[in-house]
Chains A and B, each alone.
Chain A
């Protein structure tokens, strides 16, 4: 084995477990006790940097469980799912799955779903910027072809279904929230829509019919199929009003013409 690779393998192993007396003596200059104490700075950095990344991606989970408990969760997550990417914005994709299975966290029944939502919000921040909506191109489509258009959603858009009102939970935990700190848990399952009107990511609770329409659009469906999916859930589904709203808030950023 080449020496550099061997040294890095031993260094890396000691970042997970305490540096052994033998490694301290053989690899580094200085007295073993001093070496061990200095080595622990590196171990601390790598843990702290991963924890910081988790904190940046999951601020609402942190607010719900408190800073101290959250620090413990981040540490436990990192020991199970170490970082593999140099871009720490990529770290934390499995935090929700971890929370769902980690007994100390399961006393908050909606915590894992809030984490799922926060990951989508986090990803939405870094999603591509679509070209401005081309109204002239849409206006040129003849009325009989309009239902064959395929709505294209903003790359930041995601849908999430939960047994809990996660969009509302997310909303009341925002810095900018100024209303009553109240969540109605009695209303049953709900859909959340993550969207990014310009650069600020937003979350809204949407109806079954709206979710069915957007899910169909995400799959590449035509207006006709998306509308049928929505109307199957709500016969009074108001397509005209929602199209204006969704184009205005950059949920829908373009329409593909048939054959495109």
Chain B
């Protein structure tokens, strides 16, 4: 069967997908649950071989696949590490995914890797750096990548642009697409006190290639982006607004801590599909 999309046959992502985690491997191998597409964390498949890659190669023949990186550290002043990029390239060559994405953040400093999505100062200097790093990654992978807005708990005094103006400029200058995480927009609007709907107005719709939805947790005055629960009602409302503004964008349900039975994820995905259709009707 030949489907439109990447030339090698992994079709384009469409509709609503879910994050594939090890807990649900068996169900995907045995019964092929109905979902539009699947996204995995790239770094979990950096090995030479073994079970995880076996599962990914199996599901790629049935679902469009998105490789979502969490550790490339595109925002580090040190630049992108050759070795990490080489492993990502090896995986992209092996899976030929429909989408490749990463985060607008940093994690490396000298020899260290902090294994977290650390926030950036939104300065002109940082923008130049990130543009050059994204360009290098796209040149190496020979494809466009999507960059995701992250949730954050702190803001730098040095910032000269808003987070979303920074992302818009990055997309314009590097040619990358935007992975709009609606939950992160909401989390940051609470943590930093801005209007999340206004933030959507800053984002160029034509650059958006994917939307993320996930749950968050409240810790006092802060919202923590823990991907450990159902999508919050306010985030669903913001998603409806995003759908009205941006049209049909492939949407992903993410869940990374206290991962529930697959049915819960599929239920969240069905909700996203309903809202997306209704918003565009």
Cβ contacts under 8 Å, B111 to chain A: 84
Is A38 an interface residue, CB under 8 A from the partner? yes
Q: A126-B48, A126-B49 are in contact. Are A4 and B123 (CB under 8 A)?
A: yes
- Which one, A8-16, A132-140, A142-150, is touching chain B? A8-16
Q: A12-B112, A38-B222, A129-B54 are in contact. Are A29 and B157 (CB under 8 A)?
A: yes
- A196 to B, closest residue via Cβ: B50
Is A199 an interface residue, CB under 8 A from the partner? yes
Is A127 in contact with B50, judged by CB distance below 8 angstroms?
Answer: yes
Is B51 in contact with A125, judged by CB distance below 8 angstroms?
Answer: yes
Say which residue of B54, B78, B156 sits within 8 Å of A7 (CB atoms). B156
Is B262 an interface residue, CB under 8 A from the partner? no
Q: A8-B109, A46-B114 are in contact. Are A128 and B154 (CB under 8 A)?
A: no
Is B51 in contact with A199, judged by CB distance below 8 angstroms?
Answer: yes
Is B113 in contact with A83, judged by CB distance below 8 angstroms?
Answer: yes
Cβ contacts under 8 Å, B47 to chain A: 89, 125-127
CA distance A46 to B54 in the complex (A): 29
**Number of residues on chain A facing chain B (CB within 8 A):** 44
Is A88 in contact with B43, judged by CB distance below 8 angstroms?
Answer: yes
Is A82 in contact with B112, judged by CB distance below 8 angstroms?
Answer: yes
Is B118 an interface residue, CB under 8 A from the partner? yes
Say which residue of B43, B71, B153, B158 sits within 8 Å of A42 (CB atoms). B153
- A88 to B, closest residue via Cβ: B115
Is A49 an interface residue, CB under 8 A from the partner? yes
Interface class of chain A by DSSP: helix
Q: How far is the CB of B264 from chain A (nearest CB, A)?
A: 22
Is A85 in contact with B113, judged by CB distance below 8 angstroms?
Answer: yes
Interface residues in B70-128 by Cβ distance below 8 A to A read 70-73, 76-78, 81, 84, 87, 106-116, 118, 120-121, 123, 125-126
CA distance A35 to B192 in the complex (A): 12
Is A3 in contact with B51, judged by CB distance below 8 angstroms?
Answer: no
Q: How far is the CB of B166 from chain A (nearest CB, A)?
A: 13
Is B167 an interface residue, CB under 8 A from the partner? no
Is A42 in contact with B116, judged by CB distance below 8 angstroms?
Answer: yes
Is A11 in contact with B118, judged by CB distance below 8 angstroms?
Answer: yes
A sample of 4 more A-B contacts (CB under 8 A), given A89-B44, A127-B47, is: A4-B77, A27-B158, A41-B224, A84-B112
**B positions within 8 Å CB-CB of A:** 43-44, 46-54, 70-73, 76-78, 81, 84, 87, 106-116, 118, 120-121, 123, 125-126, 129, 153-158, 222, 224
Which 8 A-B pairs have CB atoms at the shortest separation, nearest pair first?
A: A126-B47, A86-B71, A5-B77, A129-B49, A199-B51, A128-B48, A12-B109, A128-B49
A-B contacts, 8 of them at CB < 8 A, read A5-B78, A27-B156, A27-B158, A29-B157, A87-B46, A129-B49, A199-B54, A200-B51
